[in-house]
Amino acid sequence: MNTQKPATRQEIDERLSSLISNASAIRAITGAVEGTLGPLGLDTMLVDRSGDIIITNAGVTILDRMEVSHPAARMLISIARAQHDEVGDGTTTATIMAGTMISEGLSHILKGVPVSRVIDGIKKGVTKAIEVFKKLAVPVQFPDDPSIRQTALIAGRGIEDIAEKAALAAKISGYEKLMDPSFKLKDIVVAVEGADNEVFEGIIIKKKPVNDAMPVMVEKASILCMDDSLEPEKPEDGSLHTELGLQRHYQKQKEFEEHLGEIVMSGVKAIFLSRGLSEKAEQMLTEMGVLVVSRLTLRQMKRLCEHTGAIAVKRSALEKKPDELEKFLGCAEKIYSDRKLKNVRILGGGGKPAATLLVGAPTPEVAEEKERIACDAVSAVQAAVRAGVVSGGGSTELAVSQKLFEFRSSIKGMSSYGVDCVIESLKRPLAQIIQNAGFNPLEKVEEVISAQLNSKNYCLGIDCDTGEVTDMRTIGVIDPALVKLHALKAAGEVAQAILRINTIIKMKDEKDSGIPQDYMGF
């Protein structure tokens, strides 16, 4: 006869203290962003220690800038940041879904469901939900499908001007680039204080020429790109203290100036550098009417070379003969320096087509927020082209949750409780959108479920203005399927990782351990 007493709630709580602590931290993070979801979501004000503020409803910005110390919360933020880096949107949805999975999982575990069964059910539920999402996705016909612009409009918070320019930027960039996993359309967005919103074929570098006396514009320009500085080789330590050393130094300077003159005489009209240049080089190039921009970032240099067809060279390449160096040069129809906005435009490059979406605003703070909005819009467009679109407003997630409810009956044992966690997480986006719009989420979610089941129309959701059940695609609310897929996958991964943690132990600082850091013995 078994005389063992069942564990009390206190004993269970003590055994699961790590999980409870982690779930509480995740709930706090979720609460920081859930109020921003949907068309009537509100903004969040971020304040740093010096009093500077950021006002935004971009989930990734809130998560990235908020002060967080709890390790589980930092795990969630890392997953959300990875979601943004991969597809450029959906961080708030991923965060909310992960929070719901963890909260529901904890609830089942406290009732006695083994952690391993909950994790197994979440894994199976996410896998099945992704399969359903892919079936519901509708491909878009690039470049003129109206869904492309509409997707940009929804992701761009309803700003018509940005939506139109995002669609045009995608068209200029081309289908091949958009489908390239290594290419991120959001990289074409540039925010400049005082500028007007515009899209143009070319690239923009937020720097000005090294000397104001250099030309404002050069046309039919041959371009030299250097991943280096433009200056003579520096003499070795102590070499200038000898006559021979001085002679070699002056000879090197003379050779450098001669090589520079030969390059300019061969037709180079613009030089772009990743580092600086010597005063002598600046003077010579200014007098010769060459436009020089220095200290480009790696990203700027990469885009410049790709658009102009140039190959970045090191300083040693200056010693090559002009005809040998020619194969490394790029070209552009026009290079224009905007002295007012302090940037340089390179138009009509001889390499791959490139688009730039320029957004402007009267203040740096507003320009920064507009840049975030534009990045969301173009990222949504790229995601839509790559994997199609689904109805938005939480309607598709709700439809998938109903398919998952049917799938639940095929799961044997307690793993079905893990599937329940995924079902509830799929309901959460719509419920939160409804709540942020000022309606009762419990009532409205059930209304939509009933309407979807009766009509077999998975596009039904809630019109946030009227509170009525409506077809989301009919009113133009559509989202990229890829964003939904990544959000669900990310949420499932972080939920499984958090629920799997049994103990939290603070690591000893190896500097204070008395053991060499590279010691690998016992």
Secondary structure tally for the chain: helices H, strands E: 18, 14
How many Cβ atoms sit within 10 Å of the Cβ of residue 300?
A: 18
DSSP 3-state assignment of 317? helix
pLDDT in tens, the chain (522 residues): 444 455 555 555 555 788 888 888 888 888 888 988 888 888 888 888 887 787 777 777 888 888 888 888 888 888 778 777 777 778 889 999 999 999 999 999 989 899 999 999 999 999 999 999 999 999 999 999 999 999 999 999 889 999 999 999 999 999 999 999 888 999 899 888 888 889 999 999 999 999 999 999 999 999 999 999 998 877 665 555 566 666 776 787 888 888 889 988 999 999 999 999 999 899 999 999 999 999 999 999 999 999 999 999 998 888 888 889 999 999 999 999 998 888 999 999 999 889 999 998 788 778 888 888 999 999 999 999 999 999 999 999 999 999 999 999 999 899 999 999 999 999 999 999 999 999 999 999 999 999 999 999 999 999 999 999 999 999 999 999 999 999 999 999 999 999 988 766 667 765 555 555 444 343
Dist. CA 482–CA 136, nearest whole Å:
12
Name residue 338's beta-bridge partners: 343
Query: Do residues 362 and 193 touch, judged by C-beta distance below 8 A?
Result: yes
Instruction: Please tell me what DSSP assigns to residue 512.
Output: G
Paired residues of 201 in beta bridges: 355
Q: Which of 260, 258, 291, 293 is nearest to 276 (CA)?
A: 293
Q: Are 415 and 136 in contact (CB under 8 A)?
A: no
Q: Which of 117, 129, 25 lies closest to 77 in space, CA to CA?
A: 25
With b for 16 or more beta-carbon neighbours within 10 A and e for fewer, the 378-416 pattern comes to bbbbbbbbbbbbbbbbbbbbbbbbbbbeebbeebeebbb
Domain boundaries, the chain: 9-138+392-436+479-500, 199-361
pLDDT score at 367: 82
Q: DSSP string spanning 139-172?
A: ---TTT-HHHHHHHHHHTTT-HHHHHHHHHHHHH
pLDDT at 61: 80
The total of other beta-carbon atoms located within 10 Å of residue 30's CB is: 22
User: What does CATH list as the number for 9-138+392-436+479-500?
Assistant: 1.10.560.10
Q: Which architecture, in CATH terms, is 199-361?
A: 3-Layer(bba) Sandwich (3.50)
The CA distance from 279 to 122, in Å, is 64
- The answer to whether 55 touches 369, Cβ cutoff 8 Å, is yes
Distance CA 432, CA 438 (A): 10
Q: Do domains 9-138+392-436+479-500 and 199-361 have the same CATH topology?
A: no
**Euclidean distance between CA atoms 230 and 293, whole angstroms:** 11
- What integer pLDDT is reported at residue 132 of this predicted model? 95
Q: How far apart are the first and last CA of the chain?
A: 46
Residue 45's DSSP bridge partners are 55
Instruction: Tell me the C-alpha distance between 96 and 503, whole Å.
Output: 24
Find, among 306, 309, 269, 277, the residue nearest to 294 by Cα.
277
CA distance 274 to 297: 6
Q: Which amino acid is at 466?
A: T
Residue-level pLDDT at 521: 41
Pairing mode of beta strands 198-205, 343-349: antiparallel
Say if CB 373 and CB 159 are below 8 A apart: yes
**CB of 360 within 8 A of CB of 372?**
no
Is 371 in contact with 191 (CB distance < 8 Å)? yes
CB neighbour class for 333 (10 Å; exposed up to 12, middle 13-18, buried from 19) = middle
DSSP string, 212-243: TTS-SEEEEEEEEEESS-BSPPPPPTTGGGSH
Contact 257, 210 (CB under 8 A): no
Q: Per DSSP, what are the bridge partners of residue 331?
A: 222
CA angle 435, 440, 442 (to 5 degrees): 100
The predicted pLDDT at position 212 comes to 93
Strand ordering across the sheet containing 217-226: 189-193, 355-361, 198-205, 343-349, 330-338, 217-226, 268-273, 291-293
pTM: 0.80
